[in-house]
Amino acid sequence: MSLGGPASVLFCAKTFGLCDDPPVREWSDMPLPPPSLSHLLTTNLTLQKEQPSLRSPPAHPRLPPRSPSPTTSSNTKREPLQVIHISDLHIDREYTIGADAKCARNLCCRLNQPSDLFNKTQIPAGPYGHHNCDSPESLYISMLRALRNHAPNASFAMHTGDMVDHAVWTSVRKEVEDGIQQGHSQYHTYSDVPLYGVIGNHDVAPTNSFPRNTTITTLSSQWDIELFSDTWARWIGNEGTQALQETSGCYSRVHPGTNLKIISLNTGFWYKANFWLYDSDDFQPDPNGILAWLIGELQDAENRGQKAWIIGHLSPGKADCLHEPSRYINQILRRYKHTIAAMFYGHTHRSEWEIVYDDPQHPTAENAVGIIYIGPAVTPESGNPAFRVYDVDPETYQVLDFHEIIANLSSPTFQIHPEWFEYYSARATYGKMLEENGVERFLDQPSSSPLDGSFWHKVTEILEDSYPEFEKFFHRLTRGAEQPSDWKPCYSGECRKKWVHNLRSSQSEYNEYPNQVGLHIDTIDNDNSSFPSSSLNHSSDPSHRSKRNPFNLLPDEEDGEHVCGDLASLYRHAKNHLPGLKTKKLLVPDKLKQEIRSNLRQP
């Protein structure tokens, strides 16, 4: 890295939020083959058959009378596949019942030091967890038992990363190894459903640390990849474990008995908090050849007439994803849009989605070509613990419905025996929304009609125009968790507009949330950095200084941007050590601006 070079500008933008992102460089020699002639002919025939269902309705249509529901012969219709989606478990093996759930440290509900035994406890940690803390082992086992009740016929399960707790910079290799081994061992004990996993940014020590092959360092993440290779071997087979070790934590697997290829990506190589990505000014569009490998896997699936699912931790549309790899990934997704049936990610801890478009700057229902499902978290610090069960078409492998299963933290019996129940069905909830708002009779359509990108775009059109519908969606982000006293609802039209834009953005350079001013080193809830908490570091309560309130999921409209640490000191540091860099205009209160100016005048 050189001062003023591309890497330092990017580091300044993503770590301090003080610079504009450098322009995205084109990957001119991307090994992306054109579609084959036979595939184009097949695709065009399919599109001609599907075209009527893709047309957007008029702005205010007059719906025709309800027609009888179509019937399908039982001997020709196959039952949908059941697939489980688990994400962001963050199991804290040091969780201690009775420890203080209100603390000023990175993780509460644990005895961080011996003196904690003698300190007055403000909020004792219960047996099954608290919203200030990560998941106790008991909550994880409770969830595993619930899988049998809510997905008795599951074909397989996906875990989209972050099994390990939020210890962040205090995490060490031994604790990460133990957490990964114990977590998977317990899964195998309580479930015989095959599990396809991904590596999350917390599933390595140091946290977020994945050096590129070109990096000169003695620190390697290969031990972590080999650990996952051993742990996942029973589910991904010899070819999968070999690919995992050779492709920096990525693998593929055709699920037995299906025509579905599951492709698992290590998204740590485009995560902004992986500081190894700033070690060189050299243009490296594809660290460790992961994207070239992905293209090869998708091309192989296309050649074989297979469908593909992509699973990962950090989705490409989030502000945490660097702009260049996000653009390259989207180019790949658009090229293989007829092969990729769906994508599944985690990281944000929220129940949401991202839509992939042929033209990302002009999103419409007609040019929506893919859908990314972002699963809710199990860890209670982001809302009610949750997992999903998808109903999947056994031929097209598109999602027909998903069922959000939650345990209510506020229930009087939660600390005795968490009850897991269905919070909502996506098809019933959002299909009804389309119908009640006069868009289409979606619930009259065959149950085989998918919840594809076009469907979800129509949902965003309603969220954009209807505050009551948006408010319901907003509560689903945290799975209906009881809101704390300092919670700020997303009332303003601007806030709602940005949220809708985020749902339509699978390419991070078009995400409307700018880099946040402050020191962006992973905290307990930095995974939600696209939508910073308004209470962060503005509270006089010490327990709020190290953690973000997970329920404040909107940009700070009164107090300026996300400010973490001493902003004036950061500016002074940037001025002294990053000369010549263009910095953004501050969006902060006048009082804080005066403090910054005062500090900058100091020698």
With cut-offs at 50, 70 and 90, classify the pLDDT of residue 80.
Answer: very high
Q: Which two tokens stand for residue 213?
A: 């092959």
- Domain 81-90+134-430: top CATH class: alpha beta
Q: What is the pLDDT of residue 36?
A: 73
Q: Which of 57-71, 164-178, 296-310, 545-559 has the lowest mean pLDDT?
A: 545-559
Summarize the confidence of residues 573-601 as an average pLDDT. Answer: 43
Whole-angstrom distance, CA of residue 341 vs CA of residue 393: 10
Please give the pLDDT value at position 442.
Answer: 80
- What's the CA gap between 345 and 224, in Å, rounded? 20
| Mean pLDDT to the nearest integer, 499-507 | 94
> At residue 457, does pLDDT exceed 90?
yes
Q: Is the dihedral of CA 492, 493, 494, 499 positive or negative?
A: positive
The CA distance from 435 to 439, in Å, is 6
pLDDT for 263 = 99
pLDDT band at 73 (very low <50, low <70, confident <90, very high): very low
What is the predicted pLDDT for the residue at 542?
31
Amino acid, single-letter form, for residue 283:
F
Residue 279: other Cβ atoms inside 10 A: 17
Token pair listed for 485: 């006293």
| CB-based contacts of 592, cutoff 8 Å, min separation 6 | 560, 563, 567
Q: Are strands 352-357 and 340-345 parallel, antiparallel or unpaired?
A: unpaired
What does the mean pLDDT of the chain come to?
82
448 pLDDT band, cuts 50/70/90, is confident
In this prediction, residue 487 carries a pLDDT of 66
The DSSP code for 289 is G
Q: Which of 263-277, 289-303, 368-382, 581-595 has the lowest mean pLDDT?
A: 581-595
Tokens, residue 49 = 């058959």
pLDDT value for 570 = 40
Cβ proximity of 520 and 17 under 8 Å: yes
Q: What is the DSSP string of 486-523?
A: T-----SHHHHHHHHHHHT-SSGGG-SPPPPSS-----
Domain with CATH 3.60.21.10 in the chain: 81-90+134-430
Asked if pLDDT for residue 536 goes beyond 50, the answer is: no
SS3 state at 356: strand
Is the pLDDT at 557 greater than 70, yes or no?
no
Is residue 125 within 8 Å of 100, Cβ to Cβ? yes
Measured between alpha carbons, how far apart are the two ends of the chain, in Å? 26
**Residue 308 main-chain phi, psi, to 5 deg:** -130, 145
What does the pLDDT read at residue 583? 38
The span from the CA of 558 to the CA of 289, in Å, is 44
Q: How many CB atoms lie within 10 A of CB 59?
A: 9
Name which of 238-247, 357-366, 555-564 the model is least confident about: 555-564
The rounded distance, in Å, linking the Cα atoms of 201 and 271 is 8
Q: Which of 562, 383, 589, 413 is nearest to 484 (CA)?
A: 383
Spatial distance between the Cα atoms of 252 and 141, rounded to a whole number of angstroms: 28
Within 437-503, residue ranges assigned H as helices are 453-465, 467-476, 493-503
pLDDT tens column, 374-419: 999 999 998 999 999 999 999 999 999 999 999 999 999 999 999 9
Closest CA to 312 of 393, 249, 234, 359: 249
What pLDDT does 458 receive?
96
- Per-residue pLDDT reduced to its tens digit, 334-358: 999 999 999 999 999 999 999 999 9
pLDDT above 50 (res 146)? yes
Residues 6+ apart with CB under 8 A from 300: 261
pLDDT at residue 198 is higher than 80 = yes
Reference 389, options 149, 181, 88; nearest CA is 149
